[in-house]
Structure 1
Amino acid sequence: MNIQWDADRYAQEFAFVPKYGEALLALLDPETARTVLDLGCGGGALTERLRAAGYTVCGMDSDKGQLAAARRAHPDIRFFRGNATDFSLETPVDAVFSNAVLHWIDRERQPDALACVFRALRAGGQFVFEMGGAGCGAQIHAALRQAFERRGLAYRVPFFFPTVGEYAPLLEAAGFRVTFAALFARPTPLAGEQGMADWIRMFVRAPFEALPAAEADEIIREAVEDLRLRLYQNGVWTADYVRLRCKAVKPA
């Protein structure tokens, strides 16, 4: 997970990411969680929601731009830089909260991330998270794959989108006890006439890294037109999101 984000554009055009993550807050048990780490905090919108709910919270992210934006917007919260697959805390926390982060981590590195979270929690601590789940963006990635293959190019989905059956064993192998897990569709409206093209450019970067800009633009145009009949209605683009939402506990 080594993405350089345009923090201002992310906050303006993709505010749905933290907005939808607010529902995840209900999974935290305030009776047993006072200190919380927001893992992959981005611009700090959900970190602030946690603080407003009464938690003592800090935020961690790997992106300098996002951290700078978070510190500007929320100067009373501590934010620090760290990698989700290789971090440690001086003092364990009661809960780790994470929204829209874990699907950016390759399957092979998931055990590393979960081991870090496990160590960061006190005994009895909670890990509450949401990530992309199996089938997330399936129509979008199928359209991109077809556009790539028409040019003799290979396309690999640059995310890890697991089922409950795939992810629960990873949590258990890390030492967690899974107390809640749900996989659900969450169609997500995108902003503006260029919403789908903007989404692809913001989030689907790795497959385009070796391509000339003109060819990348052509592929995106083709994919968007292919998707228009299915994901564009009444002037609004909708991404075919699927989410995996879980709560796991570190045994006391």
Structure 2
Amino acid sequence: MNIDWEAKEYAAKFNFVPQYGKGVMELITAPAGSCVLDLGCGNGTLTRQLADEGFKVRGMDASPELINLARTTYPDLDFDEGDATDFHLQNKVDVIFSNAVFHWIDRDKQPLLIHCIADSLVENGELVCEFGGYGNNARIHYALQTEFAKNGLSYRMPFYFPTIGEYAPLLEQEGLQVRFATLFDRMTELKGEDGLADWIKMFVKTPFTGMDSSLKDHIIHKTVQSLKQTLYQEGKWYADYVRLRIRAVKTRC
């Protein structure tokens, strides 16, 4: 993961992330009572929902801030701090569920992520996930790139947003047969008059690493101004999300 989370602000201003995860859960075909790993569980909101659906679930996340918040909020559930690209489960699970996580992992580390997932599933176990797909937040990232360039700086895309055709072979190389995949647009409402600026400050951190705070504020301000015509509608800010939703089954041990 390439981000340090501000856990309480994330929970307060960006609760739409786990809210949309409810639809991803509906792809799970395993019956109640099955063992589930919520990979990249964040503050545990969806881990709680999975438990309420009758699954035996535990959460894992690389962020100590979010794991501490999850443990405090849901003390009856089990949470582990762990790296999605380097973990091993002593007891394999029936389902690995993940929402809004995989795009945070660099392209060259995706095979490590998928290997860990395949290794942690029982035979015929399923991966159910959603993350940013090709074109995700393209307007925002293009506007940021433009403002960086105006200030003599290069903008490094901090995310990995694949197509279905790019990602499915990575899964199948590890014996995870893709049974369902869809790439779809989802304009997403942001909270408050400063919704877009807050979104950039929360989610787009690494390109600003080491930058003077006044220059950072200037770039964000100009980026927001440039996007007002397209992403500010009827008094509300939106982010131009594109999501990749997948269900894959482990067919090889």
The superposition leaves residues 89-128 of structure 1 with CA deviations (integer Å, 9 ceiling, x where unpaired) of 0100000000000000000000000000000101110000
Instruction: State the secondary structure of the residue aligned to 2:199.
Output: helix
Question: Counterparts of 1:49 and 1:31 in 2: how far apart (Å)?
Answer: 15
Cα offset for 1:49?
0.4
Residue type at the aligned position of 1:223: T
Structure 2 CA distance for aligned equivalents of residues 191 and 32 of structure 1: 35
Q: How do 1:1-16 residues align onto structure 2 when only pairs under 5 Å count? A: 1-16=1-16
Give 1:33 shift.
6.9
After superposition, what is the alpha-carbon deviation per residue over 1:202-240, rounded to whole angstroms, capped at 9, x for unaligned? 000111002111101000000000000010011100000
Structure 2: unaligned runs, 5 residues or longer = none
TM-score when scaled to structure 1? Answer: 0.98
Does 1:164 find its partner at 2:164? yes
On the 8 A contact 1:97/1:127 being kept in 2, the answer is yes
Q: Deviations over 1:1-28 (max 9, x none)?
A: 1322111110000000000011001100
- Does the 8 Å contact 1:24/1:128 carry over to 2? yes
Counterpart-to-counterpart distance in 1, 2:70 and 2:76: 10
CA distance in 2, matches of 1:248, 1:17: 22
User: 2:150: which partner in 1?
Assistant: 150
Aligned equivalents of 1:45, 1:32: Cα separation in 2: 18
In 1, distance between residues paired with 2:103 and 2:208? Answer: 19
Q: Which runs of 4+ in 1 moved over 2 A?
A: 30-33
Q: Deviations over 1:119-157 (max 9, x none)?
A: 010111000000000000000001101100011111121
State the alpha-carbon separation in 1 of the partners of residues 97 and 33 from structure 2: 11
Q: Secondary structure at the match of 2:26?
A: helix
For the aligned residue pairs, the C-alpha RMSD in angstroms reads 1.0
The answer (yes or no) to whether the contact 1:33–1:95 under 8 Å persists in 2 is: no
Q: CA contact under 8 A between 1:136 and 1:243: conserved in structure 2?
A: yes
TM-score (norm 2): 0.98
Tell me the residue number matched to 2:43: 43
5 Å-filtered alignment, 1:107-122, equals 107-122=107-122
Residue identity in the other structure for 1:217 = D
Equivalent residue number for residue 200 of structure 1: 200
List aligned pairs for 1:222-237, cutoff 5 A: 222-237=222-237
The amino acid across from 1:45 in the alignment is T
Q: Percent identity?
A: 50
Q: Write out per-residue CA displacement over residues 17-56 of structure 1, whole angstroms, 9 at most, x where no aligned residue.
A: 0000110011001338700000000000000000000000
Are the aligned partners of 2:137 and 2:240 in contact in 1 as well (CA < 8 Å)?
yes
The 8 Å contact of residues 32 and 53 in structure 2, kept in 1 or not, is answered as no
Query: Counterpart of 2:250?
Result: 250
- Spell out the pairing of 1:1-252 with structure 2 (5 A cutoff): 1-31=1-31, 34-251=34-251
CA contact (8 A) 1:176 1:249 kept: yes
Listed one character per residue, the Cα deviations across residues 75-101 of structure 1 (whole Å, up to 9, x for unaligned) are 111001100000010100000000000
* Matched AA of 1:154: S
2: distance between equivalents of 1:32 and 1:124?
16
Once the two structures are superposed, residues 47-72 of structure 1 have per-residue CA deviations (whole angstroms, 9 ceiling, x without a partner) of: 00000000000000011110111011
Is residue 85–residue 116 contact of structure 1 (8 Å, CA) maintained in 2? yes
Is 2:30–2:94's contact at 8 Å kept on the other side of the alignment?
no
Alignment CA distance shift 1:133-1:33 (3 Å): farther
Q: Given the superposition, is the C-alpha separation of residues 27 and 128 from structure 1 closer, same or farther in structure 2, using an over 3 Å criterion?
A: same
2:2–2:105 CA contact under 8 A, matched in 1? no
CA distance in 2, matches of 1:72, 1:144: 36
The one-letter amino acid paired with 2:6 is D
